[in-house]
Amino acid sequence: MTYSSATGTLFVVATPIGNLDDMVPRAIETLQSVNVIAAEDTRHSGRLLARFAIETPSLAYHDHSDDRRLEDLLGRLQTGENVALISDAGTPLVSDPGYRLVRAARERGFTVVPIPGPCALVAALSASGLASDRFSFEGFLPAKSGARRHALDALAREPRTLIFYEAPHRVLECLRDMQQVFGSQREAVLARELTKTFETIHSAPLAELTEFVAGDSNQQRGEIVLLVQGAPKNAGSELDSEAERIMGVLLEELPLKQAASLGAKLTGLKKNFLYQWALDKTQGH
């Protein structure tokens, strides 16, 4: 397809997440034909460009680049040059740089064209065995455990399949936090080094998956996607009879927030979970 305009076109080009043979022909053609390639890391992308004899000049661009680099690329588009945006791997903007450039290009009226291809979250979901009709991509969770648990608490009752990216040095801590928040029996999948030599796709309840990763240091290396089964539809009413009795007594004597806080100490359940359960009860859900 030919794009003709008085101004240039910004192409958002997906590149392989591991196996270079996954590079699509249209992506190669696009990178060969544009005037310049904006790459997350020009040194990292050099191997890819050399593999496919792409001699187009490249320059470094990521969302932390200063405004001068952003304006330089927009200026090139304004003068009629075509620009390709690539990240280190996968589809740009999916937990990768590029948002500022794409946003600014669209705001100024330039044509933005996606060149689809590999994406780690989609590849992981397709082979996970978890429900794929509805899912929520959450990207990277906070690095510190307290903030991470808080973010997971907010997702504890989410019925859609949850998808996360995680750094290898944090994956074990992350799984332990997930086990504490989501429960030991919630099904989860570790998808690691997708399309590469040591690709691993391992599914198990969170307690077993945590043990699997803890027992094999190789599972704590490489590019990692974590997928977690969505909460069951009746997650808001999953209290045993004793916990429900305790909450019933507390709610008769205390405001909802205080009842949830004290109930968490007495039952060992999450305060946010008990708060939502009580809120559903009081609203007649």
**Which residue range is the domain that position 160 belongs to?**
121-228
CA dihedral in degrees (179, 181, 182, 183; nearest 10)?
60
CA dihedral in degrees (262, 265, 269, 274; nearest 10)?
0
pLDDT more than 90, % of the chain: 75
CA distance 39 to 55: 14
Domain-located, residue 4: no
> What pTM was computed for the model?
0.80
Backbone torsion region of residue 193, taken as left when φ is above 0, otherwise alpha when ψ lies between -120 and 50, otherwise beta: left
Given this model, what pLDDT does residue 283 score? 64
Token reading at 138:
């959450």
128 with 221, same domain: the answer is yes
113 with 180, same domain: the answer is no
Given this model, what pLDDT does residue 128 score? 98
Token reading at 218:
């190789």
Number of domains in the chain: 3
217 with 239, same domain: the answer is no
Q: What is the mean pLDDT of residues 162-178?
A: 97
Show the DSSP H helices in 129-240 as ranges: 145-153, 171-182, 206-214
| Model confidence pLDDT, tens digit, residues 205-235 | 999 999 999 999 999 999 999 999 998 765 5
Domain-located, residue 3: no
**pLDDT over 80 (residue 194):** yes
Show the DSSP H helices in 215-270 as ranges: 241-253, 256-267
146 with 243, same domain: the answer is no
Q: What is the mean pLDDT of residues 268-278?
A: 81
Confidence of residue 169 (pLDDT cuts 50, 70, 90): very high
| Model confidence pLDDT, tens digit, residues 105-136 | 999 999 999 999 999 999 999 999 999 999 99
Q: What is the DSSP letter of 153?
A: H
Q: What is the mean pLDDT of residues 35-60?
A: 96
Given this model, what pLDDT does residue 267 score? 81
Given this model, what pLDDT does residue 242 score? 82
Q: What is the mean pLDDT of residues 230-241?
A: 69
Higher pLDDT: 282 or 207? It is 207
Domain-located, residue 158: yes
Given this model, what pLDDT does residue 105 score? 97
CATH, residue 138? 3.30.950.10
Given this model, what pLDDT does residue 117 score? 96
Q: What is the mean pLDDT of residues 15-32?
A: 97
**pLDDT over 70 (residue 284):** no
Average pLDDT, the chain: 91
**pLDDT over 90 (residue 142):** yes
How buried is 61 (Cβ within 10 angstroms: 0-12 exposed, 13-18 middle, 19+ buried)?
buried
CA distance 254 to 263: 11
Given this model, what pLDDT does residue 5 score? 61
Of 118, 136, 153, which closes a domain? 118
Domain-located, residue 1: no
